[in-house]
Amino acid sequence: SYQQGTYMDFAVQKMSYDDFVNKEYIIMAVQSNFRAIPHVVDGLKTSQRKILFSCLKRNLKDEIKVAQLAGYTAEHAAYHHGEASLNSTIISMAQDYVGSNNINLLQPNGQFGTRLMGGKDAASPRYVFTQLSAITGHLFHGDDTPLYQYLEDDGQSIEPAFYVPVIPLLLVNGSVGIGTGWSTNIPPHNPLAIIANIRARLAKQTPTPLVPWYRGFQGTVVKQGQHFVMQGVWSWKNATTLCIQELPVGVWTSSYKDFLEQAAEGHFNFKKEDIRRVISHHTDVVAAFDIQLGSAFAESLHKDEEKLIKVFKLRKKIDTNNMHAFDANGCLQKYTSVEGMMDDFYVVRQEMYVKRKQHRLVHLRQQHARLLQKITFLRLVVDGTFVFKGRTKLQLNEQLASHGLGEADHLLSMSMWSMTDEKIQELCAQRDGTTSQIIQIETCSIEQMWLLDLTQVAQLLQDQTPAPKRARTNKTQVKGKHKRNRVK
**Which residues are marked as active site?**
127
Q: Could you tell me the CA-to-CA distances from 298 to 282, 294, 295 in Å, in that order?
A: 22, 6, 5
Q: Burial level of 11, CB count in 10 A (0-12/13-18/19+)?
A: exposed
Q: Per DSSP, which regions of 23-171 are E strands?
A: 64-65, 129-130, 150-153, 156-160
Give the DSSP H/E element, type plus range, for residue 398: helix 393-402
Looking at residue 25, what DSSP letter applies?
I
DSSP one-letter code for 64: E
Q: Is 220 helix (H, G, I), strand (E, B) or coil?
A: strand
Compute the distance between CA of residue 171 and CA of residue 322 in angstroms, rounded to an integer.
14
Distances (CA, A) of 419 to 123, 368, 373, 429: 60, 19, 14, 16
Are 40 and 335 spatial neighbours (Cβ–Cβ below 8 Å)?
A: yes
Closest among 108, 102, 93 to 173, alpha carbons compared = 102
Contacts of residue 363, Cβ cutoff 8 Å, sequence gap at least 6: none
CA separation for the pair 357, 354 (Å, rounded): 5
Is the C-alpha dihedral spanning 103, 108, 113, 115 positive or negative? positive
d(CA 162, CA 362): 24
The number of beta carbons lying within 10 Å of the beta carbon of residue 184 is 24
Is the separation of the CB atoms in 142 and 59 below 8 Å? Answer: no
**Element of type H or E holding 237:** strand 233-238
